Chain A
Amino acid sequence: MTVPRGKIVAIMGGSGGGKTTILRLIGGQLKPNSGQVLVAGESVPDLEREALYALRRRFGMLFQFGALFTDMSVFENIAFPMREHTELNEELIRDLVLMKLHAVGLRGAAAMMPTELSGGMARRVALARAIALDPMLVMYDEPFAGLDPISLGIIGQLIRRLNDALGTTSVVVTHDVYESLKIVDYMYFVSEGRIIASGTPESVRASTDPFVRQFVDGAPDGPVRFHYPAPPFRTQLLADVS
C-alpha cells in the first residue's frame, strides 16, 4: 500500500477489518508483527522516542469523535499544539487560530466549550486542530461516521480543499463509499488485515470484483457473509440445552 505525496487515499473496509490499525501503525502507536511502515523515508517502528515525536509533529490526526480536550475552549484546543511545540507569541497564536477556524467556518465558535458543539461542529474543530501546525500528512479516522447529510458534505469538501490548499497528504479511513468516491484520488479495500482490491474512484465504480461490488452496492450478503461463523443451525437447535 502506498500513499503518494499530495494525494487523498481512502482505506475502506467493514468494521473490525483493520482499518484503524493501519493509522495506528503509521502514527507509531502500534508496532507491526512483520513488514515495514515508511513515512517520508523513515521507518516508523524503528524510530527512537525522540525521533518518533519529531515525526508526529508533522502529522495531523482527526479522531472519530473529535477527541477534543473537554476542559478547554475551542480556541484553546486549536492553540494547544501551537503552544506545546512553538514559541509563538499570543498575538500570532490568536491570528493563526482564527485563520484555522475560519478555514472550517467556525470562527464564531471560538469561545464555545466542546460540550456545546454539535457532532459535525466538533469534527470540524478537531479538523482545525489537526491542521494547526500545517502537517505534511493528515490522517482521518472515520471522518463521516454519525453525521447528518449537510455536515457530511461539509467535511468531505473540507478534506479535499484543505488537502489541496495546504499541499498535505491525506489518509482517510472510512466505510462511507459514496462520500469517499466524491473526494479521493485512490482507494484501497481491506478485509481481515489484507488488501482485497484497490483503484481510482472511476475504476472502483466500474469494478466487477465481488467484494468491491458488495461494498459499493451495500449488499447484505456476498464475499462478506451476513452470518458470523457458527456451527450448523440444525445441530445447534437439536443439541441438549444443558
Chain B
Amino acid sequence: MSAELATGVFSWLRRLGATVTGAIGKLGYATRFMIAVLLLTHHAFRRLHLTLREIYFAGVLSLVIILMSGLFVGMVLSLQGYEVLNRYGAGEQLGIMVALSLVRELGPVVAGLLFASRAGSAITAEIGLMKTTEQLAAMEMMAVDPVARVVAPRFWGGVISMPLLAALFSAMGIFGAYIVGVRLIGIDAGAFWGQMQAGVSFWPDVTNGIVKSLVFGFAVSLISVFEGYDAKPTAEGVSSATTRTVVISSLAILALDFVMTAFMFRGVGV
C-alpha cells in the first residue's frame, strides 16, 4: 500500500515538474520569438502595404463590434451611473463619471477583450492554418523568412490598431452616455459637457488610457502571432491555439490592467 502511495506521489511530482519546466520552456521560447519579431520590425514598415493590409483586417473589420459595444456600454453606464449619482444629488456629474470610467478603464480593457476575441483569434487561426498547410515551410524553402513576411506585419498591424479602436470605443461610449443622459433622462447638455471638460484632463487621464491600450495591443498581438506560429500543425492544434489566444489574452489584459492602474494611481489614498 505504501509502495503504491509512493509511486502515486512520485508520478504526481513528475507531472508537476514536467508542467512547470514545460511552461518555463514555452515562456523562454515566446520571449525569443518576441525578440525575433522586434528585430524584424523594419520588414513590416519597409513594405508598408503588408502592414496596412493587416491593419485593415485587424482594425477596420473590428470596427462594427467595437463601435456597437462602445455605444451600449456607454448607455448602460449612463443609466447605472445616474441612478447612483442622483441619490447624492449629483446627477449633473454624470458626464465626468462616464468619461473618466471610459477613458481610463473601460475603453482600453473592453476594447482589448473584444480585440482579442475578434482579431486575435483570427490572426492565430490564420497563421496556424498556414503552418498546417505547409505554407510557412514553403516560404522558408523559398528563402523567405516567415517571421518577417507573415508574423511581423500582423504583429504591428495589431499594435497600431488597438489604441485607435480603444479611442473609438471611448468616444462611442461617451456618445451613448449623452443619448441616455441628456436625451432620455434630461440632464442639462451644458452641464454634461461642461463637467466633462473641466474634470477630465489630457494628462494623465487620456494619456494613461492610451498607454494602457498600447500595452494591451502589444500583448494581444504578440500572444496571437505566437500561438499561431507555435500551434500543432493539426486541426485540433489550431483550434486549441485559437482558444488559448483568447483565454491568455483576456487574462493578460486584466492582470496588466491591475498592475498599470496600481502604478498610475500610486499616490491615491496615501
Assembly CA distance A179 to B130 (angstroms): 30
Choice from A67, A68, A80, A85 contacting B137 with Cβ under 8 Å: A67
Size range of the interface on A?
10 to 19
- Chain B residue at minimum C-beta to C-beta distance from A68: B135
Residues in chain B near residue A57, CB distance under 8 A: 142-143
User: When chains A and B are docked, how far (Å) is the Cα of A65 from the Cα of B135?
Assistant: 10
CB <8 Å contact, B133 and A65: yes
Instruction: For residue A169, give the distance in angstroms from its CB to the closest CB of chain B.
Output: 16
- Contact partner, B141, options A59, A69, A80, Cβ 8 Å: A59
Partner of B135, one of A27, A59, A67: A67
Q: Contact string, B145-157, partner A, CB cutoff 8 A, digits 1/0? A: 1000100000000
Please name all residues of chain B whose beta carbon is closer than 8 Å to the beta carbon of A84 when the two chains form the complex. 142-144, 149
CA gap between A65 and B141 in the complex, in Å: 15
Chain A residues with Cβ under 8 A from B134's Cβ?
63-65, 67
Contacts of B137 in A (CB 8 A): 29, 63, 67
Given the complex, which residues of B lie within 8 Å of A69, measured CB to CB? 130, 135, 138
Residue of A27, A84, A85 with most partner-chain B CB within 10 A: A84
**Cβ-defined contact, A80 with B143, below 8 A:** no
B152 to chain A, nearest CB (A): 14
A-contacting residues, B130-186, CB 8 Å: 130, 133-135, 137-138, 140-145, 149
A 93-122 contacts with B by CB, 8 A: none
Q: Report how many residues on chain B are interfacial, defined by Cβ distance under 8 Å.
A: 13
Residues of chain A lying within 8 A (CB to CB) of residue B130: 69-70
B165 to chain A, nearest CB (A): 23
The minimal Cβ–Cβ distance linking B51 to chain A, given in whole angstroms, is: 15
- Are A80 and B135 closer than 8 Å at their CB atoms? no
Docked-complex contact B143 and A27, CB < 8 angstroms: no
**Which residue of B is nearest A59, CB measured?**
B141
Q: Within the assembled complex, what's the spacing in Å between the Cα atoms of A27 and B142? A: 10
Chain A residues with CB under 8 Å of B141's CB are: 27, 29, 56, 59, 61
Q: Which of B106-137 contact A (CB under 8 A)?
A: 130, 133-135, 137
A32 beta carbon closer than 8 Å to chain B: no
A82 CB → nearest B CB, Å: 10
Of listed A27, A67, A81, residue having the most chain B CB within 10 A: A67
Distance (whole angstroms) from the CB of A93 to the closest CB of chain B: 15
CA distance A54 to B137 in the complex (A): 16
Query: Contacts of A68 on B, CB cut-off 8 Å?
Result: 135
Structural contact, A67 and B138, CB atoms closer than 8 A: yes
Interface pair B142/A81, CB less than 8 Å apart: yes
- Report the Cα distance A9→B167, complex, angstroms: 61
List chain B residues, Cβ under 8 A from A70.
130, 133, 135
Do A85 and B135 have beta carbons less than 8 Å apart? no
Smallest Cβ distance from B166 to chain A, in angstroms? 28
9 other contacts beyond A67-B137, A70-B133, A85-B142, with CB at 8 A cut-off?
A29-B137, A29-B140, A54-B143, A57-B142, A61-B141, A67-B135, A67-B138, A68-B135, A84-B142
Q: List 15 A-B contacts (CB under 8 A).
A: A27-B141, A29-B137, A29-B141, A53-B145, A56-B141, A59-B141, A63-B137, A63-B138, A65-B133, A67-B134, A67-B135, A67-B138, A70-B133, A70-B135, A85-B143
B residues in contact (CB < 8 Å) with A: 130, 133-135, 137-138, 140-145, 149
List residues of chain A with CB under 8 Å of any chain B CB: 27, 29, 53-54, 56-57, 59, 61, 63-65, 67-70, 80-81, 84-85
